[in-house]
Amino acid sequence: MDENFRIRKILDMQELNIQEIKNLNYKLLMVMKRIREVELSISKEYKNQEIRCPVHLSVGQEAAAAAIALNINKTDYSVSTHRGHAHYLAKGGDLKAMISELYGKKTGCSKGKGGSMHLIDKEVGFMGTSAIVGNSIATGTGLAEAAKLNSKGQISVIHIGDGALEEGVFYESLNYACLKQLPAIYLCENNFYSVYSPLKVRQPPNRDISALAKAIGTKFSYKCKGNDPVNAHNIVQKAIYQCRNNYGPIFIEYETYRWLEHCGPNNDDNLNYRDQKEIADWREKDPIKILERKLTQKESKDYELYKVYIKNEIAEAFQYAKDSKPPNYIEAFTEIYSSK
């Protein structure tokens, strides 16, 4: 069998077509590894100053996105935050279009006008990210109402961070979703920091975020170890089943941790806003390493091929972006919205 064909048969990630693979650990690992390598490649390329937009990377937080990738349908809706690359890829967003967007090219998913924090791929139901904290929550809630009105069994997944829980739109939207029993999943990746500010200086002590959502009116609200990929998957699977079966909105809190700086491609541990032991402890909980240790001999062999496949796929995406043209003067003023 031709090696390239074999690699593609192992997993054509562009379509997230992984149902033939039976081992859940292996499936989760493959999704996470692809996301990790994309993010690390962005980090590496950023120093060349050809990517002219801020980037917020998800290295260390891949398990939540992988859990969604294995359970959500193409027809479902999804929205995300400024840290949205992983969620875009998990929903099946086009990698070449995403990288092109970072470079400001006309082949980008937002035609080069949005950059890293404004990604969209309506072909797979990824309805956009936003640079404003909490801004996409209302949009995702509206999409959940549209899904309910459509009566096609769709759901809306709303990715948020712990900082968004300090915004009024979260309470207003979740209240409305509970009132109308909308098919929405509010998926909070709690990495314990908003820029340089830890939870303790932003929220009352001993607050249970998942209990807060339950108090607003969700029938089910889950808290899980967000760096345990299987646990993350099982909770998402359960939540999506409940959401599709008219249990109303569901809230999930994933406890996780970002490895790199809040905004940018670098490590910022020298700033000492995070304890070195804390950083080391979380790096020990690397969701990718956890599952790599569980690979069978056959899976390990295929995994090595898969790593070559994604390396080539990512290289092709970056070359495609670099070779693409930026929008021309006229295009810069099309498909934009403003009020007078």
Question: Would 285 be classed as within a structural domain?
Answer: yes
| CA–CA gap between residue 96 and residue 320 (Å, rounded) | 7
Question: Would 323 be classed as within a structural domain?
Answer: yes
**Domain with 219 in it: what CATH number?**
3.40.50.970
pLDDT band with cut points at 50, 70 and 90 for residue 299: confident
Sheet holding 220-225, edge to edge: 126-129, 77-80, 156-161, 184-190, 250-255, 220-225
- Pick from 9-13, 59-63, 66-70, 270-274: least confident: 9-13
Tens of pLDDT, residue by residue over 87-128, are: 999 999 999 999 999 999 999 999 999 999 999 999 999 999
Alpha-carbon 185 to chain mean position: 14
Please tell me the predicted confidence (pLDDT) of residue 330. 83
| CA–CA gap between residue 6 and residue 72 (Å, rounded) | 26
Question: Would 338 be classed as within a structural domain?
Answer: no
**Number of helices (H) and strands (E), helices first, in the chain?**
12, 8
Question: Would 183 be classed as within a structural domain?
Answer: yes
Question: Would 258 be classed as within a structural domain?
Answer: yes
Tens of pLDDT, residue by residue over 245-268, are: 999 999 999 999 999 999 999 999
Question: Would 339 be classed as within a structural domain?
Answer: no
Domain that residue 176 falls in: 3-15+23-333
Question: Would 132 be classed as within a structural domain?
Answer: yes
Please compute, for residue 246, the number of CA atoms within 13 A of its CA located in the half-sphere on the CB side.
Answer: 3
| CA–CA gap between residue 152 and residue 157 (Å, rounded) | 15
pTM assigned to the model: 0.92
| CA–CA gap between residue 144 and residue 113 (Å, rounded) | 27
| CA–CA gap between residue 262 and residue 133 (Å, rounded) | 13
Question: Would 123 be classed as within a structural domain?
Answer: yes
Q: How many domains does the chain have?
A: 1
